[in-house]
Amino acid sequence: MLKKAGAVVIALILTIFIVFGYNLSSMRRHSYNKSMESNWRITLPDGYECVYSLTEDTNGILGDGDRYHILHYFDEPSFDKEISWDEECNHLNDAINVLENLKIDISPEDFMQKDLQYHFQERNSNTLWMNYDESSRMQYIIERIM
């Protein structure tokens, strides 16, 4: 009887560790998705890897500042219906200013590629630009959080 109780306790502890480990690894893989949901009410499709991330060091406690992320999707993503894609980048000079503030060398021509789709969104005093390149399955996300 004591051996059965010990086996049940061990199985329960292993189950807790497995669930905790899965949740922790899931949070690490998609931690940027939580930021997109809270700031923009956008859910990014699963199946991406963040290949580049840069955030302005503002020493602020609220996370204000400029941000730039590059995501690579392993398969063709199915984007949230809330995202409306355009063929031109709105407020292009403002997006370039954000990138220059982050010390990223970019020119307006980099936004004129034929396979790029653009999304622009303003919420309160915050601004979001998303570019998606279908041929490489790369998504470029520029944020200015005020």
**Separation CA 27–CA 35 (nearest Å):** 11
- Which residue did the predictor score with more confidence, 61 or 117? 117
Q: Which two tokens stand for residue 54?
A: 């840069």
pTM > 0.85: yes or no? no
Q: How confident is the model at residue 28 (pLDDT cuts 50, 70, 90)?
A: very low
Res 26: pLDDT: 45
Res 24: pLDDT: 47
Those residues whose C-beta lies under 8 Å from the C-beta of residue 138, and which sit 6 or more positions away, are 51, 70, 71, 72, 73, 132
H or E element: which one contains 126? strand 126-133
